[in-house]
Amino acid sequence: MLYDDIQEAAGVIRAAGAPPPRAGLILGTGLGGLAAEIEPAAVLPYETIPHFPSSTVESHAGRLIAGTLRGLPVAAMDGRFHFYEGYSMQQITFPVRVMRALGAELLIVTNAAGGMNPHYRLGDVVVLDDQINLMGDNPLRGINDDRLGPRFPDMSEPFDRESIELAMDQALALAIPAHRGVFVAVAGPNLETRAEYRMLRGMGADVVGMSTVPETIVAKHAGLRTLAFSIVTDICLPDALEPANIDQILKVAAIGGERLARLIPALLERWK
């Protein structure tokens, strides 16, 4: 049924005039500014696409934008779905499957994250080079459909090395503060305690968030090259931890979004 649902959703998007994308984009909290850079051919609210969930997070627009970005055909999710909203892992990652069915070869994922590496500053870009799944679930659980990917996908390289190097080079050229780092995903929606931040940092994670890992797993399963960016929206040092201010987090995410709105188009120009 999953395969048929994917084809149905893809068919509706094609019928709306969407060009076959070479790249799919998932835009996270406060990072929808990049959507304005896309020359749209079709804009579909999620509720008009069969089997798509609805985004319940206020800062997520909840629409699929298909068009071109610096001449490259793209399909962009302006707002994503989260495990903490009550959706299953299969629902969260369904749009990744659809973008692949539409023709995408590359998936770019963005998120807002807490920075645990003491060298990071608010608004810094982190280009992910590895990940840790602590969400307590996996989107590949259940019967595997070989039409969608292998039963046991390899995760030794979750993010595309060439794309990482290209992203770091472009960040340097644009004077955007950027680091390579490890992302750990937790279920949420609460933020972490001091003890949890110590544990996560001790595991080797640099940033922590509540998304991205499920999408990356499914992208790898589907054969997509994947690149992911975190924006450091709050500093999570256990010995200097302050109560989270969601309004401040959104303001910093907007600053990071402006940086990614410059970086990602420049990257895609060279990727094509």
pLDDT digits (tens, 9 = 90+) for 214-268: 999 999 999 999 999 999 999 999 999 989 888 888 889 888 989 999 999 999 9
Query: Does residue 238 have a cis bond before it (omega within 30 degrees)?
Result: no
What's the domain range around 71?
Answer: 2-271
Distance (Å, whole) CA 198 – CA 209: 15
pLDDT tens-place string over residues 156-202: 999 999 999 999 999 999 999 999 999 999 999 999 999 999 999 99
Residue 85 token pair:
């909203």
Tens of pLDDT, residues 147-163: 999 999 999 999 999 99
**CB proximity list for 182: less than 8 A, separation 6 or greater:** 128, 129, 130, 131, 132, 204, 205, 206, 207
* Lowest mean pLDDT segment, chosen from 22-26, 53-57, 150-154, 179-183: 53-57
In this prediction, residues 77-86 reach a mean pLDDT of 93
Whether the Cβ atoms of residue 187 and residue 86 lie closer than 8 Å to each other: no
Q: What is the mean pLDDT of residues 102-117?
A: 97
Report the CATH number that the domain containing residue 102 is assigned in CATH: 3.40.50.1580
Q: What's the pLDDT band for 271 if we cut at 50, 70, 90?
A: confident
pLDDT over 70 (residue 58)? no
Number of folded domains that form the chain: 1
